[in-house]
Amino acid sequence: MNTVVLYQSRYGSTKQYAEWIAEELGADIYPADSFPAEKFAWYDTVIFGAPVFGGAVLGIAGIENNLAVLQNKRLIIFTVGLTSPEAEERLSNLAAKNFSAALQKHATFFHLRGALEYQKLSFGHKILLRMIRSSMPNKLDLNQNHVSREAVLPLVAAAGGDFPE
Ligand SMILES: Cc1cc2nc3c(=O)[nH]c(=O)nc-3n(C[C@H](O)[C@H](O)[C@H](O)COP(=O)(O)O)c2cc1C
């Protein structure tokens, strides 16, 4: 079984999850932006992880644009954000808004909880976060960290199972 883990990450939490997943599976790992599309041919399973900013999944176009070549592979997408993995309605809205019908049909999705460290945010993200925060009924905590190694285990189990016929 050849597996590759590709990731996008601005502040490190998605990268951390990608590293743990690759370690558990003995998979190759690349930042998505430096992975040449020709290399998809080498793998049976492709795992793509990306953070959510303002309701948008970072860099998902890189997967959407290669769906034809990914069609005969197992495809697992994980998003990372502050949204709780239990908030099912929000997560299905996130999928509906960000993923094409073809991607929703072919891929298996997971959502893992991320982290926030206000001082480390870019200027643009500080402003965006303050806008989002001011529209929330319960004020968002500007410093929080939910990143945990155990959270990757269901994804690892899904990736390590038998290849679907
Ligand atoms: C400006 C901003 C907007 C965000 N918007 C969302 C969002 O819409 N949904 C969500 O679940 N998390 C959101 N987050 C939380 C990030 O997804 C979280 O910080 C994630 O861990 C970042 O991943 P990274 O460390 O790999 O860059 C937002 C964070 C920032 C700074």
pLDDT, tens digit, 9 for 90 and up, residues 12-44: 999 999 999 999 999 999 999 999 999 999 999
Relative to the CA of 9, which ligand 1 atom is closest? Answer: 26
* 146 CA from centroid of ligand 1 (Å): 12
Is residue 40 situated within a structural domain? yes
User: What CATH number is attached to the domain comprising 67?
Assistant: 3.40.50
For residue 155, give its domain range.
Answer: 3-160
Query: Does the beta carbon of 121 lie inside 6 Å of ligand 1?
Result: yes
Q: Does any domain span residue 134?
A: yes
- C-beta 98 within 6 A of ligand 1: no
Both tokens assigned to 56: 């948008």
Regions in the chain scoring below 70 on pLDDT: 161-165
Q: Per the domain annotation, does 144 fall within a domain?
A: yes
- Alpha-carbon gap, residue 110 to 98, rounded angstroms: 14
Q: What local confidence, expressed as pLDDT, does residue 162 receive?
A: 59
Q: Is residue 165 part of a domain?
A: no
Whether residue 96 is contained in a domain is answered as yes
- List helix spans (H) across the chain: 13-25, 61-64, 67-70, 88-98, 101-106, 123-134, 153-160
- What does the pLDDT read at residue 165? 46
- Regarding the beta carbon of 154 and ligand 1, being less than 6 Å apart is answered no
Distance CA 139, CA 160 (A): 39
Position in ligand 1 atom list of the atom nearest CA 129: 1
State residue 8 phi and psi, 5-degree precision.
Answer: -115, 145
| Ligand 1 nearest-atom number relative to CA 113 | 21
Number of folded domains that form the chain: 1
**CA nearest neighbour of 140 among 11, 51, 17, 54:** 54
C-alpha to C-alpha distance for 123 and 116, rounded to whole angstroms: 14
116 in ligand 1 pocket by Cβ < 6 Å?
yes
Could you give the 3-state DSSP secondary structure of residue 37? helix
Instruction: Decide: 104 in ligand 1 pocket, CB within 6 A.
Output: no
Rounded to 5 degrees, what are φ and ψ at 57?
-85, 120
126 lines ligand 1 (CB under 6 A): no
